[in-house]
């Protein structure tokens, strides 16, 4: 009798940690760590989950950048879904851009 083990590639992928506020941290791919580390990132709670964000001013307005959207290069109208549902796991293998409608329809109950 053969035993079949399912391995989740996201959980076994290497990562680096970026320290956030609130005593939290975000997981990122080692190749993205240096680039992302040039900014100060904060933890922000939205819809019962924590997300990594940074902010800056442009023409007197405060602009928010969500780390997962930045890494996934998410276009308008799309949502970067965290496959393992860990909203601070921003490794590329864990991010999937989905149409906003499909994401809302599938995950709005959570």
**Domain definitions of the chain by residue range:** 14-107
Q: pLDDT tens digits for 15-41?
A: 999 999 999 999 999 999 999 999 999
Q: What are 21-25's contacts with CB under 8 Å, separation 24+?
A: 22/50, 24/50, 24/88, 25/88
Q: pLDDT tens digits for 66-77?
A: 999 999 999 999
Whether the pLDDT of residue 8 is over 90: the answer is no
Q: What is the CATH number of domain 14-107?
A: 3.90.75
């Amino acid at each position: 009798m053969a035993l079949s083990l399912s391995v989740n590639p996201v959980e076994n992928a290497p990562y680096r940690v970026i320290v956030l506020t609130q005593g939290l941290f975000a997981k990122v791919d080692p190749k993205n760590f240096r680039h992302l580390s040039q900014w100060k990132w904060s933890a922000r709670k939205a819809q019962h989950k924590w997300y990594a964000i940074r902010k800056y001013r442009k023409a007197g307005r405060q602009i928010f950048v969500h780390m997962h959207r930045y890494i996934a290069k998410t276009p308008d109208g799309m949502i970067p879904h965290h496959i393992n549902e860990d909203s601070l796991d921003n490794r590329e293998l864990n991010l999937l851009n989905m149409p906003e409608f499909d994401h809302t329809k599938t995950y709005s109950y959570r």
